[in-house]
Amino acid sequence: MKLWFLNKTKFFVIFSCLVVLAGVIAYFAYGGLNLGIDFTGGSIFTVEMGSPFDDADINAALKANGVDPGSAQIIHGGANNESAIIRMKELPLETDAVSLRQSILDSLSSKYPSASAGEINNVGGVTSSEIVMNAFLSIVIASALMMIYIWIRFTFYSGIGAVIALVHDILIMTAFVCIARVELNSSYIAACLTILGYSINDTIVVFDRIRENNKRYDTRQLTRWQIADMSIRETLPRTINTSLTVLITTLAVYIFGVQSIKDFTLPLLVGLVSGTYSSIFIATPVWMVFEVWRDKRMQFKPAVQKSKA
Amino acid sequence: MKKRYTVALVVLAALGLIVGFLMAGFSVDIYDFKPLPQQISLGLDLTGGAYAVLQADSTGMDPGEFGAKLNTTLGVLRKRLDEKGFLEATVVKEGSDRIRIEVPINETSQIKDPDAILSFITQGGFLEFKNAAGETKLTGANVIQAYVSMNEKSQYVTALKFDNEGAELFGKLTEEAYNNGTYIVMTLDGKTISSASVEKGPIYGGNAIIEGGGTNGFTREEAENLAIQIQSGALPLTLHEIENRSMSASLGQDALQKSLFAGLVGIIMLFLFMFIYYRLPGVVACIALTLYIFIILLVLALIKSIQLTLPGIAGIILGIGMAVDANVLIFERFKEEFASGKTLRASMNSGFHKAMSTIIDSNLTTVIAGGVIAFFGVGTVKGFGITLIISIAVSMFTAITVTRWLLNLVLDMNVKNVKFYTIRKSKAQLAAEKEGGLA
């Protein structure tokens, strides 16, 4: 029987490796990740606008003074929403904090004549390294426990396959944000966690069908690879429909969402595609390679016993 | 059969009415029920709250020592806010000697007054046990656990559990007081909060309680606050408030409105897809999904300590994905079974049966991940884990139980035209058509 999906495993593994490699190159070429203000912190100052205000006016004033509005955050504060709390990732090199404060006020003065501001202070990131470490540790512990669960319900090697696929998806997502220079804020952690849940779900569905077909067919009729390939084909309508529905929903949120939602859903979209791809082209082949390797070892042992008898 | 579906239709109509009322809100007499979505506590990123800037006192410290103590202070504040249910609060360093705190405050917060929150978290929390001579014998550093309990007078007390060293020291202290007929004094940040004689003999068990004194003792909140302050450790620095104001959503003022609109568009497209591809079962899945969203809103509105934030919404969206996936799995199985020549009802039943092990395995694995994240995670990571677990529990119910019940109902109503269920015809049907008989 012809293999439809598992006959080019090497190609797909190399493809994934190349994407990750491109990510690593981009990482070093750009000098690290494009971390947002949640991680890096930056500068903060509060402008008393004198009246309720429009974010666009502040953005224009920031832009006129060389501050990138894309990585700045504006929060409305005070009892009447008349103060603008402005967080900036980095200050323009050519000015110091005192003159920047004055020139931003000057830019605002035509529309908000009574605007006044406190001094510009540096501020730490809201997402501390402890939170990142904590999230990372949680992912590691969660992966280990999921592996044990899959080991109990399936086989030990399928647990390895599922977790490798998981690591693959997180790597692909991270490679993507390196290459596309997506600004990472704390929502990226949530995106990674979401993919963790989605990817494992997708993998289990394929694995479950393989388990079912393993019971139905003897390995003398069909090879393990053929059974796995058949299982992928049988679950294909489900794989496509589920992926499509989740992708459509996420894409709609990406298109209509505000900037911070876009920053969250873009890596998520990549992760969703990768999650589906990896359950077919990474998780399943990894499981099969191990399983076939074990079969060979098992076949060898009875042969020795026979010759003794 | 007819009776059964009349009952079911009445149940459905009643359910629809309840959902409608809860979503729109109503008022009867003095009871005013706000629309469900408005009762959900939203996080700082979606709704805003209050912020405060605190000045740390660095007098008499070298910069290295001060820096280390400032970092400890940040951790203690963070712990106290977490314990009070402000999981989504942020605590950051501003300048070199200031701390900026942002706390989401809404109707459901345990403490609503920003000043009260500030005075709670900035309390030093330095607990001392002294003998009658006023010598400090033991401090809160030896406490490994502090919690709310009750004494024999049914008053709230703060109960303490010491580590081994603390148990030994406390035993000696009580023995001294017992033998000399004197008393022990407990102070918090230098102020005496309790003094007691030891009447029943020395206490070596490593447990102690702090009573509020007076006729009523502590309120529950006072006992809890004290427990949190002691357990989180004492603040190594003195903090002075320099700014305390309200603030808008940190994701931007219109983030919530726009995100809701985006989510709605996404869900409508999802419904369209399910309807076009799966027809009648697809419609049933959409009804189940609507119920899923409603139950999630209800749970979030009922459990006030869960704050909805962007990561939380991600957890709910993942839940929608899992619910759709469960239905897709069932319907695909149904199609396979039907194509193999079974009747509609038999295909439906074995579709559910065969898809079940997949659904349970995939959902349980995700629950394991959610559980770990909810248990070990801090702040918004924890929030994601909690909403994920709730979402999966609810989605299993709606996508399996509700969908199954509704589909059986549809079959009971004698909707047997195969066109409503699937595009593909069964072998039996094809054979029947060839013979020119009835399908």
Q: Give the pLDDT score at B389.
A: 93
pLDDT digit string (tens) for A224-267? 999 999 999 999 999 999 898 889 888 888 888 777 788 888 99
A10-19, A164-173, B233-242: least confident range: B233-242
pLDDT band at A41 (very low <50, low <70, confident <90, very high): confident
Tracing tokens 């009892």 back to the chain, one arrives at A79
Q: Which CATH number fits domain B254-435: 3.50.50.60, 1.20.1640.10, 1.10.760.10, 2.40.37.10?
A: 1.20.1640.10
Of residues B372, B353, B352, the one with CA closest to residue B364: B372
- CB-CB under 8 Å, B357 with A197: no
Q: Give the pLDDT score at B8.
A: 76
> Which residues in A lie closer than 8 A to residue B250 (C-beta atoms)?
73, 75
**Chain A residue closest to B331 (CA)?**
A238
Q: Give the pLDDT score at A157.
A: 94
Domain stop point among A97, A123, A149: A123
Task: Report, as an integer, the average pLDDT of B129-137.
Answer: 85
Mean pLDDT of chain B: 83
Three-state SS for B289?
helix
For residue A305, being part of any structural domain is answered with no
Task: Report, as an integer, the average pLDDT of B110-119.
Answer: 80
Is the pLDDT at B415 greater than 80? The verdict is: no
**Chain A residue closest to B74 (CA)?**
A128
User: Which of B76, B88, B248 to mutate against chain A (most A CBs within 10 Å)?
Assistant: B248
Distance from CA of A243 to the nearest CA of B (A): 9
Beta pairing, strands B183-188 & B191-197: antiparallel
Give the residue ranges of DSSP H helices in B142-244.
Answer: 164-180, 220-231
A261-275, B28-42, B347-361: least confident range: B28-42
**A173 and A287 housed in the same domain:** yes
Range ranked top by mean pLDDT from A82-91, A174-183, B261-270, B314-323: A174-183
Q: Give the pLDDT score at A306.
A: 47
**How many Cβ contacts (< 8 angstroms) between chains A and B?**
230
- Does this chain's domain B127-231 share its CATH topology with B254-435? no
Three-state SS for B46?
helix
pLDDT band at A277 (very low <50, low <70, confident <90, very high): very high
> Which residues in A lie closer than 8 A to residue B317 (C-beta atoms)?
194, 249-250, 253
> Which residues in A lie closer than 8 A to residue B258 (C-beta atoms)?
256-258, 261
Is the pLDDT at B432 greater than 70? The verdict is: no
pLDDT band at A186 (very low <50, low <70, confident <90, very high): confident
What's the burial of A8, exposed, middle or buried (CB within 10 Å: 0-12/13-18/19+)? middle
- The count of other CB atoms within 10 Å of the CB of residue B288 is 25
**A117 and A131 housed in the same domain:** no
Helix, strand, coil percentages (3-state) for chain B, rounded to 5, are 55, 20, 25
**A131 and A116 housed in the same domain:** no
Contact criterion met (CB below 8 Å) for A197 and B369 = yes
Is the pLDDT at B230 greater than 90? The verdict is: no
Tracing tokens 């060293």 back to the chain, one arrives at B165
Q: Check residues B423 and A203 and name the one with the higher pLDDT.
A: A203
In sequence order, what are the residues at sequence separation of 6 or more whose Cβ sits closer than 8 angstroms to the Cβ of residue A209? A231, A232, A234, A235, B358
- Which among A125, A242, A257 has CB closest to B328? A242
**A261 and A289 housed in the same domain:** yes
Contact criterion met (CB below 8 Å) for B420 and B280 = yes
Contact criterion met (CB below 8 Å) for B360 and A166 = no
State how far the alpha carbon of B351 is from the alpha carbons of B278, B332, B346, B357, in Å: 14, 8, 8, 11
**Chain A residue closest to B380 (CA)?**
A190
Of residues B437, B404, B378, B396, the one with CA closest to residue B296: B396
**A101 and A19 housed in the same domain:** no
Percent above pLDDT 70 for chain B? 92
Residues 11-40 of A with CB under 8 A from B: none
For residue A308, being part of any structural domain is answered with no
A80 vs B: CB within 8 A: no
State how far the alpha carbon of B355 is from the alpha carbons of A208, B258, B321, B325, B327, in Å: 10, 37, 16, 11, 9
Mean pLDDT of chain A: 87
Give the residue ranges of DSSP H helices in B127-187.
Answer: 164-180
- Which among A149, A234, A258 has CB closest to B368? A149
Distance from CA of B248 to the nearest CA of A (A): 5
Tell me which residue range forms the domain holding A16: 6-34+127-299
DSSP for chain A reads: ---SSGGGHHHHHHHHHHHHHHHHHHHHHTTS--B-HHHH-EEEEEEE-SS---HHHHHHHHHHTT--GGG-EEEEESTTS-EEEEEES---TTS-HHHHHHHHHHHHHTT-TT-EE---EEE--SS-HHHHHHHHHHHHHHHHHHHHHHHHHS-HHHHHHHHHHHHHHHHHHHHHHHHHTPPB-THHHHHHHHHHHHHHHHHHHHHHHHHHHHHHS-TTTS-HHHHHHHHHHHTHHHHHHHHHHHHHHHHHHHHHS-HHHHHHHHHHHHHHHHHHHHIIIIIHHHHHHHHHHHHHHHHHHHHHHHHH-
Q: Give the pLDDT score at A228.
A: 94
> Which residues in A lie closer than 8 A to residue B105 (C-beta atoms)?
none
Is the pLDDT at B107 greater than 70? The verdict is: no
- CB-CB under 8 Å, A190 with B314: yes
Q: Give the pLDDT score at B321.
A: 86
**DSSP E strand stretches across B104-170:** 127-130, 136-139, 143-150, 156-162
Query: Domain spans of chain B?
Result: 44-123+237-247, 127-231, 254-435
Task: Report, as an integer, the average pLDDT of B100-117.
Answer: 78
Domain stop point among A102, A123, A144: A123
Is the pLDDT at A175 greater than 90? The verdict is: yes
Domain stop point among A95, A123, A151: A123
Task: Report, as an integer, the average pLDDT of B220-229.
Answer: 87
Distance from CA of A219 to the nearest CA of B (A): 23
Q: Give the pLDDT score at A73.
A: 83
Q: Check residues A15 and B209 and name the one with the higher pLDDT.
A: A15
A216 vs B: CB within 8 A: no
Is the pLDDT at B167 greater than 70? The verdict is: yes
**A90 and A135 housed in the same domain:** no
Contact criterion met (CB below 8 Å) for B129 and B185 = yes
CATH code for position A66: 3.30.70.3400
Q: Give the pLDDT score at A171.
A: 95
Is the pLDDT at A304 greater than 60? The verdict is: no
**Chain A residue closest to B366 (CA)?**
A197
Task: Report, as an integer, the average pLDDT of A42-58.
Answer: 86
Is the pLDDT at B178 greater than 80? The verdict is: yes
pLDDT band at B425 (very low <50, low <70, confident <90, very high): low
B43-47, B88-92, B222-226, B319-323: least confident range: B43-47
**A221 and A94 housed in the same domain:** no
Helix H or strand E segment including B186: strand B183-188
* Pairwise CA distance, residues A286 & A284, whole Å: 5
Q: Give the pLDDT score at A71.
A: 79
Q: B127-231: what CATH class?
A: alpha beta
Dihedral of CA atoms B312, B314, B320, B326 in degrees, nearest 10, equals -110
Tracing tokens 């309680």 back to the chain, one arrives at B209
A150 vs B: CB within 8 A: yes
Q: Give the pLDDT score at B434.
A: 66
Q: What is the largest CA-CA distance in chain A?
A: 101
pLDDT band at A99 (very low <50, low <70, confident <90, very high): confident
For residue A1, being part of any structural domain is answered with no
A117-131, B129-143, B287-301, B416-430: least confident range: B416-430
**Residue B16, token pair as written in the block:** 């629809």
Q: How many domains does chain A fold into?
A: 2
User: Which of B292, B361, B396 to mutate against chain A (most A CBs within 10 Å)?
Assistant: B361
* Pairwise CA distance, residues A145 & B365, whole Å: 9
Q: Give the pLDDT score at B429.
A: 61
For residue A131, being part of any structural domain is answered with yes
Is the pLDDT at B214 greater than 80? The verdict is: no
Beta bridge partners of B278: none
Distance from CA of B433 to the nearest CA of A (A): 27
* Pairwise CA distance, residues B410 & B364, whole Å: 30
* Pairwise CA distance, residues B183 & B206, whole Å: 18
In sequence order, what are the residues at sequence separation of 6 or more whose Cβ sits closer than 8 angstroms to the Cβ of residue B14? none
Is the pLDDT at B382 greater than 70? The verdict is: yes
Range ranked top by mean pLDDT from A92-96, A156-160, B227-231, B234-238: A156-160
Task: Report, as an integer, the average pLDDT of B77-96.
Answer: 83
Distance from CA of A59 to the nearest CA of B (A): 13
Task: Report, as an integer, the average pLDDT of B215-229.
Answer: 85
pLDDT digit string (tens) for B294-331? 999 899 888 877 778 877 887 888 888 888 999 999 99
Q: Give the pLDDT score at B94.
A: 84
- CB-CB under 8 Å, A134 with B381: yes
- Which among A130, A149, A255 has CB closest to B364? A149
Task: Report, as an integer, the average pLDDT of A191-220.
Answer: 90
- CB-CB under 8 Å, B311 with A249: no
**A160 and A295 housed in the same domain:** yes
* Domain B44-123+237-247 fold: Alpha-Beta Plaits (3.30.70)
